[in-house]
């Protein structure tokens, strides 16, 4: 039943996502979807910890209600060229 509810929220662009932007490497990660803001907030620390373990630094975290992003991991090669590092390859649950 929860999956059906989540699918409906996704279709309407009302699902919740955790967006984590890092400066090193220069990436934006989307994790989700989640049925509620509380569910997304509860999952956030695990994603932050995983990224830190992979060497990501200088993070900004947002919890958003939106449609599913077209890409779950966006690596900004131009911004990262000035500060080269190995990109972190993680993606959210779908």
In this predicted model, what pLDDT tens digit does every residue of 9-30 receive, in sequence order?
777 678 999 999 999 999 999 9
In this predicted model, what pLDDT tens digit does every residue of 33-86 receive, in sequence order?
999 999 999 999 999 999 999 999 999 999 999 988 999 999 986 655 555 544
The total of other beta-carbon atoms located within 10 Å of residue 44's CB is 18
Q: What is the pLDDT of residue 81?
A: 52
Is residue 22, in this structure, part of any structural domain at all? yes
- The rounded distance, in Å, linking the Cα atoms of 71 and 51 is 17
Is residue 62, in this structure, part of any structural domain at all? yes
Mean pLDDT over the full length of the chain: 82
Is residue 11, in this structure, part of any structural domain at all? yes
Is residue 87, in this structure, part of any structural domain at all? no
Is residue 33, in this structure, part of any structural domain at all? yes
- The rounded distance, in Å, linking the Cα atoms of 55 and 36 is 29
Is residue 85, in this structure, part of any structural domain at all? no
Q: What is the pLDDT of residue 56?
A: 94
Give the total number of structural domains in the chain.
1
pLDDT at residue 3 greater than cutoff 60: yes
- The rounded distance, in Å, linking the Cα atoms of 83 and 11 is 38
In terms of residue numbers, what domain contains 34? 2-80
| Strands, E assignment, 1-94 | 16-24, 26-34, 57-65, 73-75
């Amino acid at each position: 039943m929860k999956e059906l509810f989540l699918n409906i929220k996704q279709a309407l662009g009302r699902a919740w996502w955790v967006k984590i932007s890092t400066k090193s490497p220069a990436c934006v990660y989307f994790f989700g979807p989640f049925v509620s803001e509380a569910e997304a907030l509860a999952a956030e620390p695990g994603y932050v910890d995983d990224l830190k373990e992979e060497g990501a630094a200088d993070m900004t975290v947002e919890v958003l209600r939106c449609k599913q992003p077209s890409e779950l991991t966006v690596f900004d090669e131009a911004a990262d060229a000035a500060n080269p590092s190995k990109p972190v390859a993680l993606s959210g649950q779908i």
